[in-house]
């Protein structure tokens, strides 16, 4: 499973990239706002750091404007993926942009039927938001399994990758991986939480103390 990181913070991207844990990056208007940076400038900078897909989101509800913005975003770098919402206008934009060889990430997916539509229209990625479903007492992980199962049934026709989004814990990362998600987009803090484990720390402390007791030097 590929790891995308969900951030527009350049320092976070550089740090995790040095660890070799970044296959791509996803951004959205909220993350751009939090970063306090110019949208196009930060997307260009991210694309110069990471060779993998960089999702940059359109900022309109109108299909014509989405298409125009998508074409402009695609010119920033060859690894840009245009992010559009799963609405009627978003699907219109998805079809046209995809037919022009521009990769599209259809975001804000909350049902397998929505995912089927995006798959039929040539989306490169579908982004189901599992955390937000959990917030309204639905089981977000079930959606990942449903979409993966449907796409697998029609894998000769649907090439869309399932990009699990709105991940809230390290456990959810391993769960979406076990369900066959192609990609997980993960907040940087979750990746660092995945690295740490109290038993690892305790075991390492024991080994270091015992090494000191040997009186040896490496």
HSE on the CB side for 189, CA within 13 Å?
Answer: 3
In the three-class reduction of DSSP (H, G, I as helix; E, B as strand; rest coil), residue 85 is classed as strand
Contacts by 134-139, CB closer than 8 A, 24 or more apart: 134/168
Please report the DSSP string for 140-156 in residue order.
HHHHHHHHHHHHHHTTT
Active site residue 189: no
- Kindly name the residue from 14, 61, 75, 83 that is annotated as catalytic: 83
Say how far apart CA 140 and CA 42 lie, in whole Å.
31
Give CA–CA dist 181/175, Å, rounded: 9
How far apart, in Å, are the Cα atoms of 107 and each of 2, 28, 91, 142? 17, 10, 10, 17
| Enzyme catalytic residues | 83
């Amino acid at each position: 499973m590929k790891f995308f990181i969900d951030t527009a913070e350049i320092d976070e991207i550089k740090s995790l990239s040095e660890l070799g844990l970044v296959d791509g990056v996803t951004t959205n208007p909220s993350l751009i706002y939090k970063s306090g940076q110019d949208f196009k400038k930060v997307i260009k900078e991210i694309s110069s750091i990471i060779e993998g897909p960089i999702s940059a989101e359109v900022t309109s509800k109108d299909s014509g404007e989405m298409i125009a913005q998508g074409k402009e975003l695609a010119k920033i770098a060859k690894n840009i993926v245009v992010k559009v919402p799963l609405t009627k206008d978003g699907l219109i934009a998805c079809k046209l942009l995809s037919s022009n060889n521009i990769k599209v990430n259809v975001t804000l997916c909350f049902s397998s039927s929505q995912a089927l539509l995006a798959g039929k229209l040539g989306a490169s990625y579908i982004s189901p938001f599992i955390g937000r479903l959990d917030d309204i007492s639905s089981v977000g992980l079930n959606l990942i399994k449903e979409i993966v199962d449907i796409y697998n049934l029609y894998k000769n026709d649907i090439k869309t990758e399932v990009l699990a989004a709105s991940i809230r814990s390290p456990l959810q990362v391993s769960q979406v991986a076990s369900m066959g998600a192609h990609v997980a987009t993960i907040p940087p803090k979750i990746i660092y939480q995945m690295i740490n484990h109290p038993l690892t720390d305790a075991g390492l402390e024991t080994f270091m103390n015992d090494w000191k007791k040997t009186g040896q030097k490496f």
